[in-house]
Structures are given as structure tokens and as C-alpha cells.
Amino acid sequence: MDDTPPGLGDPEYAAFAWARFRHLLAWITVAGMAVAAGVIAVMAHLQGPLHLVTMAAVLGGVGGSVMMAGALMGLAFLSSGSGHDEDVERID
């Protein structure tokens, strides 16, 4: 019996896997923006009013870093969950 996942070649499973990835990415986006807002609030409390450029830089730096980490983590889950990691070991 072959217990390998169907993989992204199966359209139904591919739709499920990509929907799961987008769901994870949406939550990571919310978390990244919350962390960036928290950093901006702490900086404003410690340093006083911030310029718009400073807030944009924090949003891009902190939020972007969290988003990139989440996207890479989500793609690792997608690769592992769809059987792509196991396909590498099954070289003919």
C-alpha cells in the first residue's frame, strides 16, 4: 500500500494545500502587523512622537521580517505536507 500524500499534481489536493498556505499566511500577516504596531507603540512611548518615515520603516522592517519568516515556514509545511520532500528520496 502506498501511503504517500497525493501531492500537488492532484488538483483537489493542490487547492486544499494552497488554501491552507494562504490561511497560514493571513494569520502570519495579522501577527506581523500586531508586532510592528507594538514596536511602534513602545518606540513612541520611549522616544516621543515618531515621524511617519520612522513608522513606515518599522512597519516594513519588523512586519516584513515576520511575513518573510511566515512565508518560508508555510512553504516548508506545504512542501512537507504535499509529499515533495519524500519525492526527492524516491529517485528512479
Mean pLDDT score, 47-56: 94
CA torsion angle 6 9 15 19 (round to 10): 80
The whole-model pTM stands at: 0.73
Q: Could you give the percent of the chain with pLDDT greater than 70?
A: 82
Which of these ranges, 2-6, 18-22, 37-41, 48-52, has the smallest mean pLDDT? 2-6
The DSSP output letter for 8 is T
For 55-68, write each residue's pLDDT tens digit.
999 999 999 999 99
Is residue 83 within 8 A of residue 5, CB to CB? The reply is yes
Distance CA 46, CA 36 (A): 15
Residue 11 CA: distances (Å) to CA of 16, 30, 56, 78, 82: 9, 29, 40, 14, 12
